[in-house]
A = this chain, B = another copy of it.
Amino acid sequence: MKKISISLLAAVSIDGRIAAYSGHKSDWTSKEDKDFLHSMLDASDCVVVGRNTYEIAREPLSKRNCIVFTNMSEKSDRGTVYFNPAKQDFSVFAKEKKYTSIAVLGGTGVYTYFLEHDLCTDLWLTIEPVVFGTGLALFETEKFVMKHFHLQSSRLLNSNGSILLHYTRL
């Protein structure tokens, strides 16, 4: 059976924030990061997002095969499946659907779910050359964890200094 690849994709500020506040649009990320993101989404079987992230990017996401994490009971339609992580096991669900390549787009709650359940195989991080000072972290676990990754590659995306880091889980 083909191994499932689950890639967490995120753009962060130098100080590790995925957004300055809840609902903050990704208008601060570079064109090159967006191009990379779209190429990754094109190559994935489905896209996993949280309810807030879905609302912010509903229009572009509606073209994709979407799994929306939510605690509420919502009716799935066309390309969008609502998934309640408190009631279902994601790895069982992904196997049933025969997904082999999954892209996780956040926000913090969804990234943290995949980290805590050790379901993340790859982490693709674009660091944009800005500092926010405050905002939402990539992960927010209740307790300190120490998860080791390996840096596979780093790539400069543009002359401003946006840099893409590719990590795999050890």
Query: Residues of A with Cβ closer than 8 Å to B?
Result: 12, 14-17, 20-21, 28, 112, 115-116, 123, 125, 127, 129-135, 137-152, 154, 156, 160-163, 165, 167
Contacts and interface: CB of A to CB of B under 8 A. Distances in A.
B14 A125 contact: yes
Contacts of A116: 133
A133 B143 contact: yes
Which of A16, A116, A125, A162 neighbours the largest number of chain B CB atoms within 10 Å of its CB? A16
Given A137-B16, A141-B134, A161 B151 contact: yes
A154 B154 contact: yes
A125 B15 CA distance: 10
16 contacts: A14-B123, A14-B149, A15-B16, A16-B16, A16-B17, A21-B144, A129-B150, A131-B149, A132-B144, A133-B140, A133-B143, A134-B143, A150-B161, A151-B161, A151-B162, A152-B161
A152 B159 CA distance: 10
A14 to B, nearest CB: 6
Nearest to A131: B147
B15 A139 contact: yes
